[in-house]
């Protein structure tokens, strides 16, 4: 391997995908953001544009925002996105079959030394790479939401990943001015989400049992423990549907308070209602 990374293709323009594309463009990479439908790509690009503008407004960007945006191009064409790129980062929904199919297609459309990374948060890298001919090219690169604000990235070695690939992915994350954490054991949810999921799930059980209410649990974590968001606000922030899907995928039980919101299509911030009401904006008052 050892190919220098200059160009990055991000597959999936949702909240993680457009955020990863933004981070790479800020770090100076030429980035292609690809999704399957033009409207998804447009939405992702709009949010990326908003975020870059917000960073500039807050004095958190050390360059002209237009220069960042100039490094991002968008497409729905998979081959055009990955054909001549050094690194592919997949950030599509957490569906194993969908990811396997995509990696097989990407492998066929890329040069042999292109590094293939998945931003999966809950699946095993080894399982995602199972349909590729060269699973040694595939690693995990797990960013946190929102990528532009979160410092940590888990770099994951699948069972067959080449050490060179892991090293290159690790170096790439460092070049983004992020802190990579190497995960050598390819287990579902890696390290961080194995810690974080109980943080969000346990208060759900307590709420179901009438032992805690939403604001109380969040206030306790924020005011007493110093967390930036309480567990329920964090669940709303990431999307309640994603939380429930991830638990169900591994046949884990889901607290009723999560399930009933998802059944009612109240998915958190993105729909304007979840454990909290976001009609008037994203801020949550725990008082």
Q: How far is CA 257 from CA 76, 230, 253, in A?
A: 37, 16, 12
Q: Which of 121, 126, 132, 161 binds ligand 3HC (CB under 6 A)?
A: 121
Is the Cβ of residue 134 or residue 149 nearer to ligand 3HC in the bound state? 149
Residue 193 falls in the annotated catalytic set: yes
Binding status of residue 149 toward ligand 3HC by CB under 6 A: yes
Q: Which of 145, 216, 249, 271 binds ligand 3HC (CB under 6 A)?
A: 145
- CB of 178 closer than 8 Å to CB of 163: no
What track of x and - describes contact with ligand 3HC for positions 32 through 61 (by CB under 6 A)?
Answer: -------------------x--xx------
Which element (helix H / strand E) includes 69? Answer: helix 65-70
Q: Could you tell me whether strands 138-143 and 152-157 are parallel, antiparallel, or unpaired per DSSP bridges?
A: antiparallel
Tokens of 83: 């054909």
What track of x and - describes contact with ligand 3HC for positions 187 through 226 (by CB under 6 A)?
Answer: ------x--x------------------------------
* Closest approach of ligand 3HC to the CB of residue 122, in Å: 7
Q: Which of 80, 229, 256, 286 binds ligand 3HC (CB under 6 A)?
A: 229
User: In the complex, which residue's CB is closest to ligand 3HC?
Assistant: 121
Burial of 153 (0-12, 13-18, 19+ CB in 10 A): buried
Binding status of residue 238 toward ligand 3HC by CB under 6 A: yes
DSSP secondary-structure letter at 223? Answer: I
Tokens of 71: 């490094």
Q: Which of 146, 202, 206, 219 binds ligand 3HC (CB under 6 A)?
A: 146
Catalytic residue among 121, 136, 189, 233: 121
Residue 134 falls in the annotated catalytic set: no
| CA–CA gap between residue 61 and residue 105 (Å, rounded) | 36
Q: Could you tell me whether strands 7-11 and 30-34 are parallel, antiparallel, or unpaired per DSSP bridges?
A: parallel
Sign of torsion, CA 230 235 236 237?
A: positive
| Chain residues in the site for ligand 3HC (CB under 6 A) | 51, 54-55, 121, 144-146, 148-150, 193, 196, 228-229, 234, 238
């Amino acid at each position: 391997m050892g190919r220098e990374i200059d160009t990055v293709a991000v597959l999936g323009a949702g909240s993680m995908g457009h955020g990863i594309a933004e981070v790479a463009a800020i770090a100076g990479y030429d980035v292609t953001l690809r999704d399957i439908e033009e409207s998804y790509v447009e939405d992702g690009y709009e949010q990326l544009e908003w975020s870059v503008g917000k960073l500039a407004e807050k004095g958190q960007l050390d360059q002209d925002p237009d220069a960042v945006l100039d490094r991002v191009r968008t497409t729905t064409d998979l081959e055009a996105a990955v054909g001549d790129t050094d690194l592919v980062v997949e950030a599509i929904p957490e569906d194993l079959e969908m990811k396997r199919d995509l990696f097989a297609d990407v492998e066929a459309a890329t040069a042999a030394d292109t590094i293939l990374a998945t931003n999966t948060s809950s699946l095993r890298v080894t399982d995602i790479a199972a349909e590729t001919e060269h699973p040694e090219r595939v690693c995990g690169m797990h960013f946190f939401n929102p990528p532009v604000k979160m410092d940590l990235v888990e770099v994951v070695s699948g069972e067959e990943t080449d050490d060179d690939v892991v090293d290159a992915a690790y170096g790439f994350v460092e070049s983004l001015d992020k802190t990579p954490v190497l995960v050598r054991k390819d287990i579902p949810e890696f390290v961080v989400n194995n810690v974080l999921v109980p943080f969000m799930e346990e208060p759900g059980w307590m709420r179901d049992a009438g032992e805690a209410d939403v604001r109380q649990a969040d206030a306790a974590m924020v005011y007493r423990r110093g967390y930036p968001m309480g567990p329920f606000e964090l669940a709303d922030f990431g999307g309640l549907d994603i939380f429930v899907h991830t638990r169900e995928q591994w046949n884990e039980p889901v607290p009723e308070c999560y399930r009933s919101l998802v059944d009612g299509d109240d998915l958190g911030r993105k729909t304007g209602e979840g454990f909290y009401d976001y009609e008037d904006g994203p801020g949550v008052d725990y008082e």
